[in-house]
Amino acid sequence: MHREIGRSILAWLGLLLMAASFVWLQLLPRLATFPDTTQKPASEQPFAVVVIDPGHGGLDSGTMKAGMVEKDLTLDVARRAERLIQSRGLVTMLTRADDSYISLSARAAIANEQPNCIFISIHFDEAGRPAATGIETYYAARQVSIPERLMSWLPFLQKASLESASSESQSLASFIQEELVAHTQAVNRGTRPQQFFVIANVRHPAVLVEGGFLTNKEDVSKLATENYREQIAAAISDGVGRYRDVLQQQRTPLVVNLPVDE
């Protein structure tokens, strides 16, 4: 009788050990190859890579109005943002570097392959009302931050994990939106949650920028100039810089001067 109880306990312990090992392997970040760089080691940065996602591409042109093609604008601004972000000593990665089609799931996967990054998707808007104008930045209220197949096994992990990712995304969106308005003087449409696939399925802080309306004559006129597109890129870079600075401050231990015995 005691022998059977002992075997049963050992069997349960073995099963628990196997489950724990499986969970640990699933949560380990997958290795990623980063470009050669003379920048600071990733360990000294709050995040290792800034993934910049130029919306649309290839057969997916996005919005086309008044001679403007969204896919071309997004790539132009993304390249400018990449240059400016690199000048801050950060590593960058583009989801597409040319006029090629990349699926939404592939874009999210590129970010999820990185152990530690932030994700910024760049778009331009359209509306049924020609008067609609301004800039807005979105974040997902709910993000996939642990493999979905683990959720049914470990539901207690889901709430805390998703809330953390969403909170960080909201913070990143706020910094970028503030800089966009300051640089461009565009109408501030604010930040708001929206379950866009490309940000909701990224497990890192992720935002989507709508840099203006291609259905608005004034927005189109400004976007046609290189200087305005450079300002949008500079705002994205400055927003990233502010977000990084806040994270670094949070990681810096508080120094307390203790009294010295004489």
Domain ranges of the chain: 45-251
Q: In the predicted model, is pLDDT for residue 164 greater than 90?
A: no
pLDDT at 1: 55
pLDDT band at 163 (very low <50, low <70, confident <90, very high): low
Instruction: Give the model confidence (pLDDT) of 188-209 as tens digits.
Output: 999 999 999 999 999 999 999 9
Q: What is the CA radius of gyration of the chain?
A: 22
Average pLDDT over the chain, rounded to an integer? 83
| 119 burial level (CB within 10 Å; 0-12, 13-18, 19+) | buried
Q: What is the mean pLDDT of residues 54-73?
A: 97
CATH number corresponding to 45-251: 3.40.630.40
pLDDT at 159: 46
Tell me 75's DSSP state.
H
In terms of pTM, does the model score above 0.85? no
CA dist list (Å): 71 to 84, 106, 229, 261:
20, 17, 14, 67
pLDDT at 29: 40
pLDDT band at 24 (very low <50, low <70, confident <90, very high): very low
Q: In the predicted model, is pLDDT for residue 25 greater than 80?
A: no
DSSP strands (E only) in the chain: 49-54, 64-65, 68-69, 91-94, 117-125, 135-139, 188-193, 206-213
Instruction: Give the model confidence (pLDDT) of 44-57 as tens digits.
Output: 679 999 999 999 99
Q: In the predicted model, is pLDDT for residue 210 greater than 90?
A: yes
The most confident of 40-49, 98-107, 253-262, by mean pLDDT: 98-107
Tell me 118's DSSP state.
E
Instruction: Give the model confidence (pLDDT) of 169-193 as tens digits.
Output: 999 999 999 999 999 999 999 999 9
Q: In the predicted model, is pLDDT for residue 72 greater than 60?
A: yes
Q: In the predicted model, is pLDDT for residue 39 greater than 50?
A: no
pLDDT band at 16 (very low <50, low <70, confident <90, very high): low
Q: Greater confidence, 11 or 148?
A: 11
Q: In the predicted model, is pLDDT for residue 40 greater than 50?
A: no
